[in-house]
Amino acid sequence: MRVIITGGTGLIGRALSAALLNTGNEVIVLSRNPTKRHALPGGVRLEGWDGQSANGWGHLVNEADAIVNLAGEGIADGRWSAERKERILNSRVQAGQALTAAIQQATTKPKVLIQSSAVGYYGARKDELLTEAASPGGDFLARVCFEWEASTAAVDKLGLRRPIIRTGIVLSNAGGAFPKLVLPFRLFAGGPVGSGKQWYPWIHIDDEVAAIQFLLNHERATGPFNLSAPEPLTNKALAAEIGKVMGKPAFMPAPGFAMQTLFGEMATVLLDGQRAMPQRLLDLGFTFKYPTAEAALRALLQ
């Protein structure tokens, strides 16, 4: 299978590229920064794009069996100024629209487009159990996710399957949020953030990649899927698990007001959460390699 990945130089894209290559697939990564070739596994074909149009690469869609759209500026890479919030939203919407245009123009269309999103789609919902049937939230991240998903909706009418992956917090030693979560514990300063009552829907990077591959190949997979483990934990419970696995204390709280002072509006990523469940993924028969936080943490930290 020939797969095009946008946003392929990010944490998920790198791991997915390696897994697809290992199972005999051909991988083409579209990147706004082609100099990042060193970040990709050997064997990946790297092509430049502007993230806004089909110029210069649109013909590649004629050769593709599948597309995985992961493109978008990092949510937690800096404080959310008005300009940065606009970049976060536009980078996702414009990439999705560019892919849609390329697919519409293609004479031979791919069979499946996997559209990235996040559990932030649901907004801050406290203890509400959230399956894929839950309505969207009303905050900034929920709006970003809603418009991100909608950016490729037009391909539904072209006969493509379009699984939408609403990803939780990806646990990986290679980047993302996990090294930042673990660092305070290494310094004997680990503990809950804010109230600690907010739910953290997490997923091990191996399960994230396996779920995407599962959805690529499952002929009945379309629509939204929560990509998070079947055991979501509160922030306090996750901190306790990290402390237990590392043999470190987990009682040093990071006050919510300090997070808000340090990160501004972006603190919502740390202080709010979603009790998301991967109901549709489980219904299709997907099996998690790491269904519990303890198993995932031991695999990463020991």
Residue 253 lies in a domain: no
**Range of 159's domain?**
2-168+204-228+276-288
pLDDT bin (cut points 50, 70, 90) of residue 262 is low
- Please state at what angle helix 140-150 crosses helix 82-105, rounded to 10 degrees: 10
Mean pLDDT, the chain, whole residue set:
93
| 233-249: average pLDDT | 95
Residue position matching structure tokens 């031991």: 298
The arithmetic mean of pLDDT across residues 151-174, rounded, is 96
252 assigned to some structural domain: no
Work out the average pLDDT over 219-245. 96
Return the pLDDT at 232. 93
Residue 190 is assigned to a structural domain of this protein:
no
The mean per-residue pLDDT over the stretch 253-262 comes to: 73
CA distance 118 to 121: 6
Instruction: Quickly list H helices, 26-136.
Output: 82-105
**pTM recorded for the entire structure:** 0.95
Q: Which two tokens stand for residue 262?
A: 């340090």
In this predicted structure, the answer to whether residue 41 has a pLDDT above a threshold of 90 is: no
**Residue 268 in domain:** no
Q: How much is the pLDDT for 71?
A: 95
Residues 53-112: tens digit of each pLDDT: 999 899 999 989 999 999 999 887 778 899 999 999 999 999 999 999 999 999 999 999
**How many domains does one find in the chain?**
1
Q: Tell me the pLDDT band of 29, cut-offs 50, 70 and 90.
A: very high
**pLDDT > 90: percent of the chain:** 79
Distance of CA 74 to the CA centre of its chain: 10
The answer to the question of residue 222 being in a domain is yes
**Cα–Cα dist 235/241, whole Å:** 10
Domain assignment of residue 198, yes or no? no
Structure confidence at residue 258 (pLDDT): 67
pLDDT digits (tens, 9 = 90+) for 163-188: 999 999 999 999 888 898 899 999 99
Q: Taking residues 207-212, what's their average pLDDT?
A: 98
Within-domain flag for 263: no
Asked if the structure places residue 87 within a domain, the reply is yes
CATH code, domain carrying 108:
3.40.50.720
